[in-house]
């Protein structure tokens, strides 16, 4: 079946550090891939999405590349800030699946000032 794996449960960085959050997926075909960010007490917010293999999505300094070869969609940011502290979820969806998303387990990012 479909699955999304985020190996890192927690990541702790200092401000201006480089961020890398791992995400791999398993499915058939070419899903749409997403990154969501969830702040404490709120629902997940769409950070970026990519629908086409080998394309890159970017938003607010974050970027992720849809790598069909390695079935990965890692999230990166050159210089994190304290306000980036949140839980980040990788997710995927097939175009004919409606609003059904398959989520990874989430990665809690803590950025120290």
Partner 1 sequence: GALVYQYPRRTICKSGTSMRMECQAVGFQATSVAWYRQSPQKTFELIALSTVNSAIKYEQNFTQEKFPISHPNLSFSSMTVLNAYLEDRGLYLCGVRQGAYEQYFGPGTRLTVL
Closer of 101 and 111 to partner 1 (Cβ)? 101
Based on CB atoms, which residue is closest to partner 1, 6 or 65? 6
- Beta strands 86-93 and 107-112: pairing type? antiparallel
Q: Is 57 in the site for partner 1 (CB under 8 A)?
A: no
| Distances in whole angstroms, Cα of residue 56 to Cα of each of 42, 51, 93, 100 | 27, 9, 17, 22
**Coil, strand, or helix at residue 49?**
strand
Q: Is 46 in the site for partner 1 (CB under 8 A)?
A: yes
Q: How many residues bind partner 1 (CB under 8 A)?
A: 22
Which residue, 80 or 88, is less far from partner 1 as judged by CB? 88
CA distances from 39 to 36, 45, 46, 83 (A): 10, 8, 12, 10
- What does the binding site for partner 1 look like in residue numbers (CB under 8 A)? 32, 34, 36, 42-46, 49, 51, 89, 93, 95, 97-101, 103-106
């Amino acid at each position: 079946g479909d699955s999304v794996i985020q190996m890192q449960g927690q990541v702790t960085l200092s401000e201006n550090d480089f961020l890398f959050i791992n995400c791999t997926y398993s499915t058939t075909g070419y899903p749409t891939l997403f990154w969501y960010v969830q702040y404490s007490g709120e629902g997940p917010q769409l950070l970026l999405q990519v629908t086409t293999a080998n394309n890159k999505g970017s938003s607010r300094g974050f970027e992720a590349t849809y790598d069909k070869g390695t079935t990965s969609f890692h999230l990166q940011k050159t210089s994190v800030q304290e306000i980036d502290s949140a839980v980040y979820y990788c997710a995927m969806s097939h175009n004919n699946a409606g609003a059904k998303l398959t989520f990874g387990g989430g990665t809690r990012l803590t950025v120290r000032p």
